[in-house]
Every structure is written in structure tokens, then in C-alpha cells.
Structure 1
Amino acid sequence: MTAQFLIVTDVDSTLIRDEVIELIADSLGAEARAHVADVTERAMRGELDFSQSLAERLLVLEGVPVSVFDDVLASITVTDGVEEFVSEVHERGGVIAAVSGGFHEILDPLAARLSIDHTRANRLGVTDGQLTGRSVGPVIDGAAKRDTLESLRMNLGIDAQRTMAVGDGANDMLMVEAAGVGVAFCAKPVLREAADVVIEQPDFRLLLPHLP
């Protein structure tokens, strides 16, 4: 069956209400989480380069055991309406992808549970069952998110106007600008200014009237 349209959504603070890297930092205590949260917030406002901010936050996580992944998955809060949104997208012949500056180790099982078709995210370095404090492979920054949107739509044979990108921070701006329908979802001011649609409430069902 030919795909009718494409949805690409950010994950942290969009598809889910959490920031996964902060949930991982929880295992190190309140001070570590507060530091990671501060760097995340500044990056999402566009005050810090995303790749540099990711490297700084990952260093805090060096030595955390990979067993933390199960705890993080158990504590994630999926945004209201996501299941209904994904079901409706599929019912109408659409394809949905989740792209994240977070991590495949968390996103892949989450996406499988939510019936999301494609994923792209960073990969965490692991040695002897512990995080190395670094990522492996290319960093999924704003340009990589936009490129994922473009490559998926071309592979699926979908016109640019039949695409939607959903995000909340500066790291999502390029894909939001590239999509036929760019959505700022409970977003930072820098992204609201670039979006075609602004959603104020954390409920994915509010996206349904705007499907491309």
C-alpha cells in the first residue's frame, strides 16, 4: 500500500512528557539531574549548540549501569492522545516516524509499543555494562532530523506538502520548517515563531485536524 502522508515527531517533551537523559541522570542523584536539566533547557531554547550540549550531559552519565534502561522505560509518561493519534494516522494511510536527540536504547522499545513505523536517535557508548559518557556514531541534531524527514518522504514517494513535523525545541526547527505542516507542540518561543501550527496543550489528538 502506498503511503499517503508522513508524520515525523520529536520524542522528549513531545511524544513523551519526559526528558530521557534526565531520567537516566536521576540514578546519580538530584544534583546530577539538575545539571543535566539546566543544559537541556538552554539547548532547547537555542542558547547552546545541541551537539556540544549532548556531549556535556553524557559526561555526567559515565559509569551508570545499563540496567537503568529498564527503570527509565518503566517511568516514561507517554503524552496524552498518542495512541489514538498513531492509530488514526495508520487508518488514513499515513506513516509515522520518531526522531530524537535521545537514545535508541529507550526509543526502540517505546516505538514498538506505540506502533511507530520508523525511528532515528543517538546510540549510547557502553563498556562492561556501563555507560562510557559518550555517544556512538553520528549525533542526531537538528540537521539530522530534517534529513530524516526528507529521506523518508523521498523513499516513500510522498510530496513535501503531505508531511508534518512536530517538535518542541530549537533542535526541531529545521524539520519543522521543511515540513508541509510544521507544528510547535508545547514549544519554546524560538520554535513557535517558525511553526505553521502552535499546539498549547499536551494532547496529540489536537494534531488530528491538521494532518497533511
Structure 2
Amino acid sequence: MLIARLIADTDKLETRLKQAGLALASAGMSEGTQAGSRPVNGSKSVMQIRVPKGDMADLRTIVEEHFAPDAALLASASFEPVRLLVSDMDSTMIEQECIDELADFAGLKDKVSAITERAMQGELDFETALRERVGLLAGMPESKIAECLEKRITLVPGARSLVGTLKAMGCRTVLVTGGFHHFADPIAEQLGFDHVIGNRLAVANGKLTGELDGPVVDSGTKLSVLQEERAKLPSSKSIATGDGANDIPMLQAADYGIAYKAKPKAREAASGWIDEGDLTAVLTMLDVPLEKWAE
């Protein structure tokens, strides 16, 4: 049996619950309508749904038909305290794709962002696409990275509260990104992550060479990081957050894999998703009291 926690507008729950309840009942999920709802953050409420058959496909269809586009959902066999967070960075903890913003300084954003989008959709091999984009940045002064970070990169709303709250509970936090340490290190410091894994841009004579320094951090790396970190915390629950195709193995392997405003393939593979709102919805779905950290 799965238990699903659904966050939606309170008005939607009140006005659409009857129709949704009929759909749930016809799919063998009638127990869920007995769980009722409780208020969250004023205009939002959370409802718990029991899914006896464990059929996520039916549940997804019902939620999307009756509560989309602003609903958030997480399903699991049980909900227990988490002790490990492993998260993507670009478009998950920050609102941008850092390589696209960096390319804009070279007048190449349209070309680079098109490659980024196809890679995140799973249409291109991640490493090949990454190396192609990095190659286009050859000759850029390294100093442009700090300028880009200051002027273009912003944190996703709720990111600081999510990481801070989990850390206050004793959770280990790891940022693992297909982006670059030049961005990931200061972002991790701002948010309070314990550890950072990312790609390194090669630099010579103060300029980007168009190459990477060291092995590529890809979907396999993200999965390995999750597995290795979880092995250090036996019997602990893990949560992973991400948005792109290269996050899929990590999202599938975590106890709670949440796709944040994600590409379709990542959203379909995850055990939960957030399409609207901020990252504090993760805490709501895990029934974790929110600590108010400065956003």
C-alpha cells in the first residue's frame, strides 16, 4: 500500500473533493477520502490518500485532472524522518542554469540554452552536451564567473528554509550538480550544505580553456553519491530533489524522490512532484515543522 500526501489550494479541495473522491473510489482508493485535510500556510491544505493497490499511474491521472496545475504530491509506503538530503543545483536550488547565464556574457546564450534544454529533457547524452557547451566558452575571463554569480544567480524560494530546517533536525545535506564548482561552492555555503560535488571548469592564464578539469559529474555520479552517503547512515531515510533527466536515477533510488518544476521525464520517474510554489512544500509533505530561515 502507498500513502500519498497531496498539497492543493484549499478552495480546490473543498470544491473538487467530491468529484476527485469518486475518481479515487473507482480506482480503488476510496479510503483516501476519509483522511480529510488540514490547513497549510493559509491558502493551502494537505490531504492524505491511501492507495491500496499502489497504482501511482491512476493517482497521477486523478491529481492532474482535478487539482493541477498547482498541486504537489508525494507517495511512499511510509513516511519517516529523513537523515539525508541529496539535491541538484541548477533549476532546483537556484532558479537558473548557470552555464546558460554564463554563456550570455559571451553572446551565446541562445545556442547554449537550446543544448541545455535538450540535455535536461533527456534528448542528448549529458556528457557530450556538457563538453560541447563548455567548449563554446573557451577564452572567457574567469572573472566573468563571479560577475555572473552576483548579477544573474538567485536562490529558489524556500531553498534556505528547506536546507536549514533539515539540518536543524540532524540531516546531512549534499549538493551534487552537473554544473560547476565556481557556482556550486558559494551557493552551498549560502544554503548551508555539508558537502558539494560538481564539475570543474579548466582555467589557464585567467581564462576558461573550453575544457573540464577532472571527471564529469553525470547521472551515474549523482546516483553513486546518494548510495554512498546513504550507506554511511544505515536505516535512515533519504530525500532527493532535482528537475532534469540526469537526476532520474537519483530520484528513483531515494526513499523520497521529488521532482521540482521538472522536465516531464524526471517528473514521471519521481515519487513526488512540486509544480508550483516553493521548496518548503517538501517539508509539508514530510510533515516536518518549518523553521523560519531568512530567505
Give your verdict on TM over 0.5: yes
Matches within 5 A, 1:123-142: 123-142=200-219
Distance across 2 between alignment mates of 1:117 and 1:5: 13
Q: Which of 71, 84, 92 is the aligned partner of 2:169?
A: 92
Find the counterpart in structure 1 of residue 32 from structure 2: none
Distance across 1 between alignment mates of 2:154 and 2:277: 12
8 Å contact 2:164–2:191 — kept in the other structure? no
Task: Please report how far the alpha carbon of residue 206 of structure 1 lies from its aligned counterpart in structure 2 after TM superposition.
Answer: 0.8
1:173 aligns with 2:251: no
Task: Please report how far the alpha carbon of residue 210 of structure 1 lies from its aligned counterpart in structure 2 after TM superposition.
Answer: 3.4
Distance across 2 between alignment mates of 1:135 and 1:98: 19
> Structure with the greater relative contact order (CA < 8 A, sep ≥ 6): 1 or 2?
1
Gaps of 5+ in 2: 1-80, 288-295
Matches within 5 A, 1:32-111: 32-74=108-150, 75-111=152-188
Which structure has greater helix proportion?
A: 1
Q: Which of 89, 93, 96 is the aligned partner of 1:15?
A: 93
Gaps of 5+ in 1: none
Sequence identity percentage: 41
1:22-55 deviations in whole A, cap 9, x for unaligned? 11111111xx110100000000000000000001
State the TM-score, normalizing by the size of structure 2.
0.67
Distance across 2 between alignment mates of 1:145 and 1:187: 17
1:183 aligns with 2:261: no
Q: Flag the 1:185–1:13 CA change in 2: closer, same or farther, 3 A.
A: same
Q: Give, as a single letter, the amino acid of the residue that structure 2 aligns with 1:151.
A: E
Task: Please report how far the alpha carbon of residue 88 of structure 1 lies from its aligned counterpart in structure 2 after TM superposition.
Answer: 0.8
Find the counterpart in structure 1 of residue 106 from structure 2: 28
8 Å contact 2:84–2:171 — kept in the other structure? yes
Partner SS, residue 207 of structure 1 = helix
Between structure 1 and structure 2, the one with the greater Rg is 2
